[in-house]
Amino acid sequence: MPPRICLLNPGIQNHAGALSHNLGDVIIFDAVREQFAEIWPDFHLDILSTHEELGPAQYKVIRQSDYVIVGGSNLLSSNMNHYNQWKVSWRDLYRLRNVILMGVGWWQYQKAPNLYTALLLHGVLSKRHIHSLRDEYTVHKLRRIGIRNIVNTSCPTMWKLSPDRLRTVPAERANNVLFMVTDYNLRPDIDRPIAELLLESYEGVFVWPQGSGDEEYLRSFNLPFIFVERSLAALDRLLEDRTISLDYIGTRLHGGVRCLQFARRSLILFIDNRAETIARDTKLPALARTDLDGIRDWINHPKPTRVELDQGAIAAWRAQFDE
């Protein structure tokens, strides 16, 4: 029989399937589902939300599953009794076991995990499977609490950024640029000068609201942006249109990786640990949002895009399901 996979998915806001307020989570889900289709020629997939607590109906699904996998995003933190994007708690310890991580990262730079977090993660995470983590920073955090069956694979959205695919990314600057901002980290004193630089440097500046509050923030600048509909399908249509010469510059990590998936020259501006740690591990093109001179230099002095992934770690995580 085909294996039953239960995906704990940040791409949906609740167990009824409403999309996450952050479409970056949907980009992650798209990559996770693509990997599943390659690992298992045939499988049954049940999807639960990481944003909502588990109840009797969800536990029934989990009991019937061969594998329970958490699919990406920055769901772990050092004090999960106080802040937990993944809505799991001590109440789940007796019913949620053998969970497998896939490209999961740490929320922000933090101190060492507290005792509650250590006991919780030791209780719910599988001890016999390899866990895939998003960056070396998260690897270090879990090693601090004695969890060692872990590998750094980076985010599943990046797993197909092979050297062959990246060679199709233009080295030269494009005529237009796609700009993205982050609604939960509003810094108009920084973002507006970036937007003005882009308007000076490119013929057109497209914007796509990945977060539910991004469009309102972008419109507050009162600048001549070209707005793209807030849907993943609309973003993909823009990226697929090869009649539009397009770079990407913005603070949305997964929006930028989506552009690389479509062979668009991309620069991700980091505002927290996520893009910064991934870039440190993989050489993903990234700069601090405050580095206006660096952004200007990237625009005017293009070079080939290179991303270094640990393909052995990715292969080891995938191979464990061949048993």
Q: What is the pLDDT of residues 200-224, one digit of tens each?
A: 999 999 999 999 999 999 999 999 9
Q: What's the length of the chain?
A: 323
The mean pLDDT value for 156-183 works out to 96
Predicted pLDDT at 323: 62
Does the pLDDT at position 282 exceed 90?
yes
Share of the chain above pLDDT 90, in %: 93
Predicted pLDDT at 264: 98
> For 22-39, what is each residue's pLDDT tens digit?
999 999 999 999 999 999
Does the pLDDT at position 72 exceed 90?
no
Share of the chain above pLDDT 70, in %: 100
Query: In whole angstroms, what is the distance from residue 89 CA to residue 105 CA?
Result: 18
In the numeric block, which tokens belong to residue 1?
């029989």
The mean pLDDT value for 288-308 works out to 95
The residue type at 140: H
Q: Quick one: angle between helices 273-282 and 253-261, nearest 10?
A: 40
> For 95-130, what is each residue's pLDDT tens digit?
999 999 999 999 998 999 999 999 999 999 999 999
Q: Compute φ and ψ for 229, nearest 5 degrees.
A: -50, 140
Residue 52, SS3 per DSSP: coil
Which among 277, 281, 251, 244 has a CA at the least distance from the CA of 266?
A: 251
Query: In whole angstroms, what is the distance from residue 33 CA to residue 237 CA?
Result: 20
Query: In whole angstroms, what is the distance from residue 72 CA to residue 283 CA?
Result: 20
Predicted pLDDT at 322: 83
Res. 281 pLDDT band, cuts 50 70 90: very high
DSSP 125: B
Contact between 205 and 179 (Cβ < 8 Å): yes
The mean pLDDT value for 241-261 works out to 97
Pairing of strands 286-288, 266-270: parallel
The mean pLDDT value for 244-273 works out to 96
The mean pLDDT value for 2-27 works out to 94
| Burial (Cβ within 10 Å: 0-12, 13-18, ≥19) of residue 127 | exposed
Query: In whole angstroms, what is the distance from residue 118 CA to residue 136 CA?
Result: 18
Contact between 92 and 124 (Cβ < 8 Å): yes
| Burial (Cβ within 10 Å: 0-12, 13-18, ≥19) of residue 235 | buried
CA torsion through residues 59, 135, 145, 35, sign: positive
The residue type at 59: Y
Predicted pLDDT at 273: 87
Could you identify the residue written with the tokens 């927290």?
272
The mean pLDDT value for 269-273 works out to 92
pTM for the model: 0.95
On average, the pLDDT of the chain sits at: 96
